[in-house]
Chains A and B, each alone.
Chain A
Amino acid sequence: MPRAEMKNLPSRGNYYLSGNEAVAEGALAAGCSFYAGYPITPSSEIMERIAQRLEEVRGVFIQMEDEIASICAVLGGSWAGAKAMTATSGPGFSLMQEAIGYGAFTETPCVVVDIQRAGPATGQATRVGSGDVMQAKWGSHGDYQLIALSPWSVQEMFEFTVQAFNLAERFRVPAILLADEATGHLRENVRIPETVKVFNRKKKKGIPPFGDGGKDLVPPMPAFGEGARLLVTGSTHDPWGFRRTDDPEIHAALVERINRKILQARETIAQTEEYFLEDADSAIVAYGFTARSALFAVKHLREEGRSVGLLRLKTIWPFPEQQIESLSSKVEKIFVPEMNRGQIAGEIQKYTDHPVISFSQTNGEIIHPYPMMEEIRRIV
């Protein structure tokens, strides 16, 4: 549904919301008009709020029979022309993986919110974790790229949801809002601006919907019902969508393009934020809720006279390689606190010769600044 027809969009002002509620408002602000989901702790508040809000703005909400159905309905809805979203947590995110790969291969814009909880398996449903960061990249079979953003505040739950929609539409790819339980259930002030920048997918008649896509490698995307007689398939396809399941060149070119369109835009997509890094000789690299503890730790360590800084990853995928390389030229030691067993620490190690020290915690609790500070004092 065109945004102009939508009513009661979130209006400007300061609100006191939970992270999950802010995601729902961010989705509406971005123009989301279709949501399909399945209840799961700790993400359900997103669905509950959006169920009510989509009715108010004349969008469409449906609670599906499972997470697989939810993501598939979202992909179908996206091809029918809507900006579409679903939200879940680890177990549901696992179930969605096959369809997320389908979304990547058929270049279907959509937003998947993963409010990470402590896994694996059912794990601790109400507790926090960030064990899904590698799953967000490698969860489906085959070679593809997605976009994954990691908010650390309720404000960013709103803003990054908008960004996730914009990036999904711009690059024709599923975008993951990779938040965690602590940020999802955090309540704090959020400022909703008068207008937000919204990107809508490119449409152009007569251009192959799976063609080379020009310089940015993103072809235009018509919707069902527009007379484009679309041919969409998750099998290897040519620029018009015809199955080409035994042509090595077409397969290689398609896989190359869906990867390259994201990787070549890495500089635009991959965002980071620096704190106290100008004169730092050691750095913490953190993301999500953990970055809040990390900033607290850095401020205190600074007061103690230690030259420690923080690089906060706002984007996880595509990975901010250049920022890590540049950090590596400034500091000697990189310290990575994570609510998993070093998933991003390992990634960072690929882009630096300095030792990356993983500070991992997988007990379903947030990482407190004090043990982090103690560990840094020990090694710095």
Chain B
Amino acid sequence: MARIMEKYLRPEIEATPFCPGCGHGILMGLILRAIDGLGLDMDRILFVSGIGCAGWIPSPHFNADTLHTLHGRAVAFATGAKLVNPDLTVFVISGDGDLSSIGGNHLIHAARRNMDLKVICANNMVYGMTGGQVASTTPVEALTSTTPKGNQSPPFDLCRLVEAAGATYVARFAVTQPLPLIKSIKTAIKNQGFSFIEVLSPCPTQFGRRNRYDQPSDMIAYLMEHCVTLKKAEQTPECEREEMIVTGEFVSCLE
């Protein structure tokens, strides 16, 4: 039962390249469960990814067409492929630095066009592969390899960014919320337009160890403790919301 998703992986795959405690492996499994749940044909899916740890979630693992592109450009490559073959279900699976920093312009323009792409942004709040440098998603005060005294610049709220740009499905969940996340991925697949899911995925190797999350489990515990539903956030007085990570569907045209 535990290995049921293996049928969606290339037979050559023996292990994932992710560090112990990384959330990307969990996300990989959840994406496949959503695909399995909808009974999609892997021959009709294209997975496009950029550069960085999250770019390796689909490539080479997923047994479908996979396009591992340049740093930041996954959305632009995906736009070309989708326009040429609209029958393909096109996913873009990449990291926060790739999609929102170097690739930020492509992200907002694809959202503006409501291009039918399923963009899953694995947000670990840091540049993992290159050694833990500060990102456009790093919280203020966080220590990174390029902010030794703590990050001074506030992070993007990616969901609000793509919502403002015109995305027609926007959600945020953490890998610690597997069931709502699977449901959200399914909704993104069904939405015929620009769908964006920010997935909080812990990086104990580059983020946790510099920020007093000594064990991978500490980061998982943090996410479980701080992620709250939209409804709960709304019921909480504003002054108490600061520590909360609000999760849920922010824009959805579908039930």
Bound CA span A82–B88, Å: 14
Bound CA span A82–B252, Å: 33
A229:B42 contact, CB within 8 angstroms: yes
Chain A 32-50 against B: per-residue CB contact (8 Å), 1 yes, 0 no? 0110100000000000000
Q: Which of A64, A80, A231 contacts B85 (CB 8 A)?
A: A80
Determine the chain B residues whose CB is within 8 A of the CB of A74 once the complex forms. 80
Query: Which of A162-170, A234-242, A370-378 is near enough to bind chain B?
Result: A234-242
Instruction: Tell me the A94-110 residues at the B interface (CB within 8 Å).
Output: 98-99, 102
A77 lies within 8 A of chain B by Cβ: yes
Interface size class of B (residues with CB under 8 A): 20 to 34
Bound CA span A241–B10, Å: 12
B60:A76 contact, CB within 8 angstroms: no
Q: Smallest Cβ distance from B146 to chain A, in angstroms?
A: 23
Q: Smallest Cβ distance from A20 to chain B, in angstroms?
A: 22
Query: Which of B24-32, B65-73, B214-222, B228-236 is near enough to bind chain A?
Result: B65-73
| A83 and chain B: residue at smallest CB distance | B84
Determine the chain B residues whose CB is within 8 A of the CB of A81 once the complex forms. 84-85
With A65-B105, A80-B84, A229-B42: A73-B65 Cβ-Cβ less than 8 Å: no
B43:A64 contact, CB within 8 angstroms: no
A72:B76 contact, CB within 8 angstroms: yes
Instruction: Tell me the A226-264 residues at the B interface (CB within 8 Å).
Output: 227-235, 241-243
Chain A 55-86 against B: per-residue CB contact (8 Å), 1 yes, 0 no? 00000101011101110111111111110100
Determine the chain B residues whose CB is within 8 A of the CB of A234 once the complex forms. 68-70
Instruction: Tell me the B69-114 residues at the A interface (CB within 8 Å).
Output: 69-70, 73, 76-85, 87-88, 105-106, 109
Bound CA span A224–B106, Å: 22
| A98 and chain B: residue at smallest CB distance | B70
Chain A 169-207 against B: per-residue CB contact (8 Å), 1 yes, 0 no? 000000000000000000000000000000000000000
| B41 and chain A: residue at smallest CB distance | A227
| A233 and chain B: residue at smallest CB distance | B68
Size of the chain A interface, CB-CB below 8 angstroms: 42
A214 lies within 8 A of chain B by Cβ: no
| A75 and chain B: residue at smallest CB distance | B77
| B12 and chain A: residue at smallest CB distance | A242
B142 lies within 8 A of chain A by Cβ: no
A225:B87 contact, CB within 8 angstroms: yes
With A62-B83, A225-B46, A229-B10: A68-B88 Cβ-Cβ less than 8 Å: no
With A76-B77, A229-B64: A99-B83 Cβ-Cβ less than 8 Å: no
A225:B85 contact, CB within 8 angstroms: yes
Determine the chain B residues whose CB is within 8 A of the CB of A65 once the complex forms. 105-106, 109
A79:B81 contact, CB within 8 angstroms: yes
B66:A34 contact, CB within 8 angstroms: no
With A64-B76, A65-B109: A72-B85 Cβ-Cβ less than 8 Å: no
**Interface of B, helix, strand, loop or mixed by DSSP:** mixed
Determine the chain A residues whose CB is within 8 A of the CB of B105 once the complex forms. 65-66, 69
B80:A229 contact, CB within 8 angstroms: no
Bound CA span A73–B76, Å: 5
With A69-B105, A225-B44: A82-B77 Cβ-Cβ less than 8 Å: no
With A65-B109, A69-B106, A76-B77: A60-B65 Cβ-Cβ less than 8 Å: no
A224:B85 contact, CB within 8 angstroms: yes
B80:A75 contact, CB within 8 angstroms: yes
Chain A 302-333 against B: per-residue CB contact (8 Å), 1 yes, 0 no? 00000000000000000000000000000000
A235:B43 contact, CB within 8 angstroms: no
Determine the chain A residues whose CB is within 8 A of the CB of B83 once the complex forms. 34, 60, 62, 73, 77
Determine the chain A residues whose CB is within 8 A of the CB of B64 once the complex forms. 229
With a 10 A CB-CB cut-off, give which of B48, B77, B87, B106 has the most chain A CB atoms: B77
Bound CA span A73–B70, Å: 12
A231:B77 contact, CB within 8 angstroms: no
B137 lies within 8 A of chain A by Cβ: no
A76:B65 contact, CB within 8 angstroms: no
Bound CA span A80–B77, Å: 10
Bound CA span A74–B77, Å: 7
Determine the chain B residues whose CB is within 8 A of the CB of A1 once the complex forms. 84
B65:A230 contact, CB within 8 angstroms: yes
Bound CA span A109–B109, Å: 26
A73:B80 contact, CB within 8 angstroms: yes
Q: Which of A98, A229, A242, A243 contacts B65 (CB 8 A)?
A: A229
Determine the chain A residues whose CB is within 8 A of the CB of B63 once the complex forms. 229
B106:A242 contact, CB within 8 angstroms: no
With a 10 A CB-CB cut-off, give which of A73, A78, A79, A242 has the most chain B CB atoms: A73
16 more contacts with CB within 8 A, not counting A77-B83, A80-B85, A241-B60, are: A1-B84, A33-B84, A69-B105, A69-B109, A72-B73, A75-B69, A75-B77, A79-B67, A81-B85, A99-B70, A224-B46, A224-B85, A227-B43, A231-B59, A233-B68, A242-B12
Of the A-B pairs whose beta carbons lie under 8 Å apart in the complex, a sample of 16, sorted by A's number, is A33-B84, A64-B76, A66-B105, A69-B73, A72-B73, A72-B80, A73-B80, A76-B77, A76-B79, A77-B83, A80-B82, A82-B84, A84-B80, A84-B84, A225-B43, A242-B60
